[in-house]
Structure 1
Amino acid sequence: MKILFSDKKIFDINGVYNSQNDRIWAVDRAQAYTKGGREQVQQFPQKVMVWLGACSKGVTPLVILDRKPKPKGDKGTVDHVRYIQEVLPVALAYGNEVFGDD
């Protein structure tokens, strides 16, 4: 059977802080602040997306999709065009190498 599974994951480069996982019991904000209960989170953290494929015969090379400088107005998102240009060639090359051209 010739199946190649793939997945992507977005990683926050600045570190992960989830305020919903931490609780500080305090009477007011000032007391919470002295106990270290207020964390600053960057509004637009830097992120990187990684893609990897796997099958019974091994794994594909890792593809790292970072936010490249784009024309004005583009947010640097990973859309279908970037997938076709950057991920598909890696997946096809690996599939042809491992499974052959049939």
Structure 2
Amino acid sequence: MRSDNICFLDNQVVFVDWSCAASGNKNHDLATLLPTLYLEGSPSRYKIMPDGSNYAPALCAGHIKRLGERNSMPKWLVSVFKKLVAIELEWAVECLGLEKPDGISWDVID
């Protein structure tokens, strides 16, 4: 999020991703935002979007793909993507009513 992504419309603030600006599915946009907001202290993704079982695994797969292509990705960004993968997997498990994964938690990933 940068200042050029913020627009003011009457008494509202509107965020615009100009490179992907289009009219689309609001649930997809919310699902895409939730994992990164969670990194910054927002409530559980599941509490906000309990029906995210269609989105969480797809987002996770996208981040895994990007990690596989990380030739010149800075170390800090690799860490962010790893955390997002763990967050999205936890979200998918919650949505599907499965047992919590026994792997590493996102908050201990360097």
TM-score bin, normalised by smaller chain = under 0.3
Q: Considering Cα pairs closer than 8 Å and 6+ residues apart, tell me whether 1 or 2 has the greater RCO.
A: 1
Which structure shows the bigger proportion of residues in helix conformation?
A: 2
Q: TM-score, normalised by structure 1?
A: 0.24
Q: TM-score, normalised by structure 2?
A: 0.23
